[in-house]
Structure 1
Amino acid sequence: MKNRIFPNAVFLSVTTWLIISGCTKILDKQPVTDLITNTGATSISALDAENSLAGVYDAETGYAYGLEFNVLDRITNGDAKADNCYAGGDNPNNISIDLFTFNAANDNIGRDWKDAFGIVATANITLAQVAACTDPALTPTRKNQILGEVRFMRAYTYFDLVRLFGRVPIMLEPVDQTNSEALIASTLIPQSSVDSVYEAILADLWFARANVQADNTPPNKMVITKGAVNSILAKVYASMPTPNWDSVAYYCDQVIPNYSLVPNFNSLWDNSAKNNKEAIWEFNYVGYSKVGNWIPSQFLTGGWKKFNTPTNDLVNVYRAEGDSVRLKASITFVDYGWSDAYWKDPLHYPVLSKYPDPNDGTNDFYAIRLADILLLRAEAYNSKADIGNAAMMVNKVRARVGLPATTAANANDMALAIEKERRLELAFEGHRWFDLQRTGRALTVMNAFTNGAGQNLNYHVQDYQIIYPVPQNQLDNNLLLTQNPGY
């Protein structure tokens, strides 16, 4: 595949990413700021290679620059755009995403494009630096591990981009800054097809799979291992325009034997259980004093109305299922005096509570955990009408929270049972919208969405709104970009 360079609009918005922060030992320490000013593809030291890798981790998890894309916006895009959350708060950009009234001028959508391509820019610089490193202290094995981890994060970011925006520019090299003409020539490029983006994602993931560490080797689950790569490969194959369920099954089967569900669902959200046996890839947070992690404070505590309010519909589904364990772990009803058009009782207002430490921001975020992969494996079984094995996977997840076995007896019922189980298990982890998107259920579900009184909310979601518009400022700066149809 021909390598491509990132577009001028992106370059202009992420120039600050050309200084990379990091730490000296990503395996067992939290990030500590350390600047690397050499951003070209010249030979760097082994220590600088490790620091560059840490800088990509910082960018991917939102540490380095206080990005909102990777947690707050992950929940907005995955849950508030779906039927798990109302926008909450008073941010008009969030509200328009919730109500499907967004357009190309939406600042949050523009921020997500910019932040994602900023991560890609950081990854591209690091790949060039590390590939050029001739320091004998960087062994060939370690060099390929670093390259694999960075290529995984680039692929993971592109996976977000292609699901959010559809066609996007493919950027696989740093900007050519040798002269102004080279800069212009290398930055003004059009979008590539969705299929081409997925091909680029798969190429990065296959390289990563061959080179990153084995499952459970590093104690810190933020470090990318084969389990994380296999998990994302499974999710990618399930999300492509034509899903490949044989590949989904294969990669899920590479993951499942190496992890296990923690016995108590509640303990997943306990800070004493970080890096547990269920976690496959976990974003570690370190608190305000280190890097300004303020994400949990966006969902909990009084003072001001929080973002991403759980919906009446989600609460009703938990209750109808008798799922008190996951309801109580995921949603807390508070008496902060808030009310709105959806929740009118100011003494009984729901807040998202899977991230329960608003003071120091020490909660981790599960980017991937085993329950997700078990339920994806159930979908793969169900795609072959293997109802028995699909039920076995679903029942493993249900049994942990004391629910009886699923009663789904045919493929259609099982598909809906898996969809519901994923919703209840993975609420507020950024998956719901993408599940509806990849299964073709988004329009049906969202246009049937009701309030607490059972009245239709009349979203009138249109097919073109399954993906976001290209941000207007990107179109203005790169005339080779074209707007997504419908906008």
Structure 2
Amino acid sequence: MKYLSSNNKKFNRTFTAKWLLLLCFCGAALQSCKKLLDVDSSHAVAEKNMWNSHEDTRSALIGVYGLTRAALADNNAFWMYGELRKGDFAAVQRQDIDAVVSNNLHAPLDMLNELSNWRRFFAVVNAANLFLEHVGEVKARDPRYSEQNMAVDIAQIRFLRAFAYFNMVRVWGDVPLITTSHDGEFTDQPRAPQGKVLAFIEQELQAAADNLPYAYSANDPQQQGDYYAEGGDKWNGVLARKLSAYALMAHVAAWQAKYSLVAAYTKFVLDNAQKSSLVFVKTDQLTSSNGFFSGRGSNNFINNHMIAFDFEFTNGEASYTGHLEELTLAAPVVSKSQPEIYVPKDTILSLFDQNRDERFSLDSIRGEPTSTRYFTSFDSHVPIFSKIKVILDGGTSDPDFRMYGSAIIFTRLEDIALLRAEALAVLGEQTGAIDLLNQIRDLRVMERYDAGKEGDLVNAIFRERRKELMGEGQRWFDQVRYHKLKRSDATFNRLIDEGGIYWPVAENVLMQNKQLTQNIYWINR
């Protein structure tokens, strides 16, 4: 990543101090998993000097968060896996992006090879394993490190490890299940069945939820006093909280079509949202350049980041890469002639077909947009997807800046409400499902659900998810769930039945570990 190098000395000093700690830990973590992951690294500090004080646990904890963010941001993986694959976006020119869009994932292209490699996520797993193995040493050596502090730290680490495995399961299906660091040397392991890995994820998330607070430095029973001597403004929306675990459990259950559990977990999140200061976000707040996606700026929505990974401008973390804006923005928003990806006009008009929808709507008489919060330059051949447009800290609209500070948002309250609506509709509880669907539609100022006009309720809910969560990395996984439910598309049924919903495993990973096998769908393709 590239960072601001002028007029931000204070920010850079903060960034440097923070990330030197992170890199010290990450160097040790990546070195220790070199056999399995083929990562070349060297110890920035000797591991034996790493686990002596609660400052070490803090830097190690931040290190695992940093590795998780890197796994999602590298090659824009979060969007390549979840948004672009057979999604609503089309590539303008790039062959590698077009290959992802068309599900040609075995094409001999560098980006596809990188995305097929699960090394980045196993770096998170190994760093988490190291933390869990050594955190007790800090407790024994530093009397300032309390039992409660350790319990909350362990809960976050277990959450992050589960999150890494859930990402891998959704992308590759069966993956090796590794829960110890083996002192830096892994033996070759086969891929564990997806069901076993998902059971482990559920177990870890429940254990994490038991010890995570609703909020940090807020005298929560699970975490009293200032967490690592910092107030809640430092941590909320950045670290995993109790509702983060329940929200992720809801997604894990949905992936397995366990809709009774989805209903239970999403209800818990919605019923307890106020305890974590979670609120539903109005359209202007969602799409403003300094609104919901702007991370830890001066806005009031940071607490809404239930599971998110920030690029905080004030810490010098704004970057050119690892953001959706890198792919979607162009003139007049930024000084770039055309975007890398865009949503075709036909798709936009077929989805946003109500003239009151605040996200995007078109005057049926004049043929001009009446709302441009999601799309600008609609009169051009390539509309600009500008729902997410955080330049620096979101406080500038200067098109000459192409450095972005938006957070990677895995889930938000609207996502959980629609996920609950999906579960209730599948379970036959139509009244509750319709109420939730209409709650989101009311936020966007559009007509309420009409069964006579729109037909199937499940279809309407997935359609609303498609619009509401566009650009947020959910589209591909929503399609998989939908087609598993409906079984009405022969082409997609084949992908499901033959394992084509998963990515191929990178060839260098297979060569390194002879116990691994390729996903069957991608053999000889």
- TM-score class, shorter: 0.7 to 0.9
Instruction: Map 1:262-411 to 2 at 5 A.
Output: 262=280, 264-270=282-288, 271=290, 272-273=298-299, 275-276=301-302, 278-287=304-313, 290-291=316-317, 293-294=319-320, 295=323, 296-300=325-329, 301-303=334-336, 305-322=338-355, 324-327=357-360, 328-333=372-377, 347-358=380-391, 359=401, 360-408=403-451
Give the corresponding residue for 2:143.
Answer: 136
Partner of 1:254: 268
Q: Deviations over 1:304-342 (max 9, x none)?
A: 5433322445312333244642233222227xxxxxxxx
Whether the 8 Å contact between 2:358 and 2:446 is mirrored in structure 1 is no
Within the candidate set 505, 510, 523, 1:475 is matched to 510
Pairwise CA distance, 1:440: 2.4
Aligned mates of 1:200, 1:69 — CA distance in 2: 25
1:453 corresponds to: none
Distance 2:165 2:109 in 1: 20
How far did residue 203 of structure 1 move? 1.9
SS in 2 for 1:354: coil
Aligned partner letter, 2:121? A
Contact 2:495-2:501 at 8 Å conserved across structures = no
Equivalences for 1:72-471 in 2 at 5 Å?
72-90=76-94, 92-103=95-106, 105-112=108-115, 113-133=118-138, 134=140, 135-177=142-184, 183=185, 186-215=186-215, 217=218, 218-219=232-233, 220-240=236-256, 243-259=257-273, 261-262=279-280, 264-270=282-288, 271=290, 272-273=298-299, 275-276=301-302, 278-287=304-313, 290-291=316-317, 293-294=319-320, 295=323, 296-300=325-329, 301-303=334-336, 305-322=338-355, 324-327=357-360, 328-333=372-377, 347-358=380-391, 359=401, 360-408=403-451, 413-440=456-483, 463-471=498-506
Task: Check if 1:58 corresponds to 2:66.
Answer: yes
Give how far 1:269 is off: 3.4
CA pair 42-273 structure 1, distance change in 2 beyond 3 A: closer
Q: Distance in 1 between matches of 2:213 and 2:464?
A: 31
C-alpha distance in 1 between matches for 2:413 and 2:425: 18
Greater shift, 433-442 or 161-170, is seen at: 433-442
TM-score normalised to structure 1 length:
0.79
The residue aligned with 2:52 is 44
Q: In the superposition, relative to structure 1, how do residues 273 and 310 fare at CA in structure 2: closer, same or farther (>3 Å)?
A: farther
For the structure 1 residues 39 and 265, does the alpha-carbon distance in structure 2 shift closer, same or farther, using more than 3 Å as the test?
farther
Following the alignment from structure 1 to structure 2, what is the Cα–Cα distance between the partners of residues 353 and 445? 31
Distance 1:47 1:123, change over 3 A: same
Whether the 8 Å CA contact 1:42–1:129 is kept in 2: the answer is: no
Aligned residue identity for 1:251: Y
Q: Deviations over 1:380-425 (max 9, x none)?
A: 2112211111000100000011111111379981110110010000
SS in structure 2 at match of 1:120: helix
Secondary structure of the structure 2 residue equivalent to 1:188: coil
State whether residues 90 and 343 of structure 2, in contact with CA within 8 Å, keep that contact through their aligned partners in structure 1: yes
Aligned partner of 2:499: which letter?
Y
Q: What 5-or-longer segments of structure 1 have no aligned partner?
A: 1-5, 20-34, 178-182, 335-344, 449-458
Matches within 5 A, 1:20-35: none
Q: Is residue 88–residue 309 contact of structure 1 (8 Å, CA) maintained in 2?
A: yes
Is the contact between residue 269 and residue 355 of structure 1 (CA under 8 Å) also seen in structure 2?
Answer: yes
CA distance in 2, matches of 1:443, 1:164: 21
Give 1:302 deviation, angstroms. 3.9
Kindly provide the amino acid, as one letter, of the partner of residue 426 in structure 2: S
CA contact (8 A) 1:299 1:306 kept: yes
Q: Mind listing any 5+ residue stretches in structure 2 that lack a counterpart? A: 1-31, 219-231, 291-297, 361-371, 392-400
Task: Give the superposition deviation at 1:8.
Answer: 6.2
Contact (CA 8 Å) 1:7, 1:189: kept in 2 or not? no
**Residue 17 (structure 2) aligns with:** none
Distance 1:125 1:105, change over 3 A: farther
Q: What whole-Å deviation, never above 9, does each CA across 1:103-142 have from its counterpart, x for those lacking one? A: 1755434434222222222222222232432222111111
> Which shows bigger deviation, 212-221 or 226-235?
212-221
- Shift, 1:481, TM fit: 0.4
Query: 1:385, 1:411 within 8 Å by CA — same for their partners in 2?
Result: no
Q: 1:288 to 1:255 in 2, by over 3 A?
A: closer
| Structure 2 counterpart of 1:466, one-letter code | I
Comparing 473-482 with 325-334, greater Cα deviation is found at 325-334
2:75–2:111 Cα contact (<8 Å) kept:
no
The 1-side partners of 2:356 and 2:52 are apart by 54
Percent identity (aligned): 23
- CA displacement, residues 241-270 of structure 1 (integer Å, 9 cap, x when unaligned): xx2222111111111023354452121233
Residue pair 2:317, 2:405 contacting (<8 A) in 1 also: no
Tell me the CA shift for residue 9 of structure 1: 5.8
SS at match of 1:154: helix
SS of the aligned residue for 1:202 comes to helix
